[in-house]
Amino acid sequence: MSRPPFSPAEARAARLRVGMTPEQVVASMAQLGMDRPPEAVHAWESGTVAPSETELFALADALWCPVQALMARVPSTLREHRLARQFTAERLAQRIGMDPYAYARAEAEHRWSGTDRQTLLLADALGLRVDDLLDVVDQAAELVTLLHEAVEGRWKTYVAPLADLARADQRAVAQALRTLHREYALFNERYMGHLVARSGDVRLKEIAVDRARWLRDLPERFRLMVTHGA
Q: What is the pLDDT of residues 7-48, one digit of tens each?
A: 999 999 999 999 999 999 999 999 999 999 999 999 999 999
Reduced to 3 states (helix: H, G, I; strand: E, B; else coil), residue 6 is: coil
The contacts of residue 135 (CB under 8 Å, 6+ apart) are none
What whole-number distance in Å separates Cα of residue 200 and Cα of residue 125? 48
Has residue 193 got a pLDDT over 70? no
Q: What is the mean pLDDT of the chain?
A: 90
| CA nearest to 63, candidates 4, 127, 10 | 10
Q: Determine the average pLDDT of the residues in 127-152.
A: 93
Has residue 101 got a pLDDT over 90? yes
Q: How confident is the model at residue 57 (pLDDT cuts 50, 70, 90)?
A: very high
pLDDT score, position 1? 62
Q: How confident is the model at residue 198 (pLDDT cuts 50, 70, 90)?
A: low
Q: Under a CB-based contact definition with an 8 Å cutoff, are residues 34 and 53 in contact?
A: no
Where, residue-wise, is CATH 1.10.260.40 in the chain?
Answer: 1-72, 74-128
Q: Determine the average pLDDT of the residues in 87-110.
A: 94
pTM of the model: 0.79
The answer as to CATH 1.20.58.1610 being correct for domain 74-128 is no
Lowest-confidence segment of 37-46, 100-109, 199-208 by average pLDDT: 199-208
pLDDT score, position 126? 97
More confident position, 103 or 206: 103
**What is the CATH topology of the domain spanning 1-72?**
434 Repressor (Amino-terminal Domain) (1.10.260)
pLDDT score, position 173? 95
CA distances from 86 to 52, 61, 75, 223, 226 (A): 12, 10, 12, 20, 25
